Amino acid sequence: MKLGVSGFAWTANFEERHLSLLPNIRAMGFAGLELPMFDPATLPATAIRRAFEANELECTFCSILPAGINPISPEHTVRQRSRDHLVRCIETAAEMGAHLLGGPLFAPIGYLPAHRPTEDEWCWAVELFQCVGELLETNDITLSIEPVNRSETFFLRTAAEAGKLCTAIANPRIGVTIDTFHANIEEKNIPTAIESLGAQLKHIHLSENDRGLLGSGHVDFPAILRSLQRIEYSGYLMIEGFGYLSSEPLAPGALWADPAVSPDMIAQRGISYLKAQIQHA
Ligand code: LER
Ligand code: MN
């Protein structure tokens, strides 16, 4: 298992100026840094690729669908636009040397129509992910679909739902990201949920119940690590916590992260905690 940290600790809007973070992230001992991807065109792709290569860091991406993009929209033109968006995300991720594109790729965060998922929406999601199969193969990219909790989506909230979707898609390059913050809300037993996925689990976001410092809350990371070992998971342990930085008013943690917890602390204390837990697991 490889250790990584999400750029969400610092910002949701990763810009060239954030590349100065890379040497310190590498020095902390991380193998990978995950970047938020909204509109791929806004990312400085060449600068990012060069900086990751220079710092011997692997890049993964967490895609959050921007306004106007919704693969399960009832409007055909929106679904077409969303397919084109996913193609651009995959191509841009490949351009930056990434081999994993994850996130809640099925619908925009906060898209909460007052109904349960419909047969049509399910088919639209399956078709969308099936239609990029060849592109994933050509670019050697794994797509990792992340179920998120009911405050962010109505469509895919649990490992069981995400596993069922991936079974329907039937592409070994397409699997599931489990985020322990979301799983702490939606799963009755996180280790059982993880083990139920087996090889479908492609990525994991290790996130505390309050998205703060790992080990400071009530998520049972030792049990989660043991379940990952039982399914011989070999992907990233990606720390996804949100720190507080007064200079980043648009950061995910700006409104509710503990002001005493900086992004660097999320990363440094997180990797120290994980290394200690892995040793004990
Ligand atoms: C993305 O990985 C995630 O966990 C979502 O909560 C972002 O809104
Ligand atoms: Mn996540």
Query: Which residue range is the domain that position 28 belongs to?
Result: 2-280
Q: How far is the CA of 194 from the centre of ligand 2 (A)?
A: 15
Q: What is the separation of C-alpha 155 from the centre of its chain, rounded to a whole number of angstroms?
A: 17
Which of 109, 144, 176, 266 maximizes ligand 1 atoms within 8 Å of its Cβ, making it the mutation to test the pocket? 109
- Phi and psi at residue 62, to the nearest 5°: -115, 110
Is the CB of 148 within 6 Å of ligand 1?
yes
The pLDDT of residue 157 is 98
Q: How far is the CA of 206 from the centre of ligand 1 (A)?
A: 11
The pLDDT of residue 249 is 86
Q: What is the number of domains present in the chain?
A: 1
Which two structure tokens, joined as six digits, stand for 125?
A: 């999601």
Give strand pairing partners of 32. 4, 58
The pLDDT of residue 281 is 78
Is the CB of 210 within 6 Å of ligand 1?
no
Of the listed ligands, the closest to the CA of 109 is 1
- Flag residues of the chain having pLDDT under 70: none
CA distance 77 to 74: 9
The pLDDT of residue 173 is 98
Instruction: State which amino acid sits at residue 42.
Output: T
Is residue 98 within 8 A of residue 143, CB to CB? The reply is: no
Encode pLDDT of 233-257 as tens digits: 999 999 999 999 999 988 999 999 9
Side-chain half-sphere exposure of 224, counting CA atoms within 13 A: 25
CA distance 49 to 124: 33
Which two structure tokens, joined as six digits, stand for 236?
A: 């990233």
Coil vs helix vs strand at 130: helix
| Sign of the CA dihedral running 216, 157, 248, 246 | negative
Is residue 77 within 8 A of residue 45, CB to CB? The reply is: no
Give strand pairing partners of 87. none
Q: How far is the CA of 275 from the centre of ligand 1 (A)?
A: 24
Alpha-carbon distances, residue 59 vs 102, 164, 170 (angstroms): 12, 28, 26
Is the CB of 103 within 6 Å of ligand 1?
yes
Kindly report the CATH number assigned to the domain that includes residue 142. 3.20.20.150
Q: How far is the CA of 137 from the centre of ligand 1 (A)?
A: 26
CA distance 162 to 91: 24
The pLDDT of residue 250 is 83
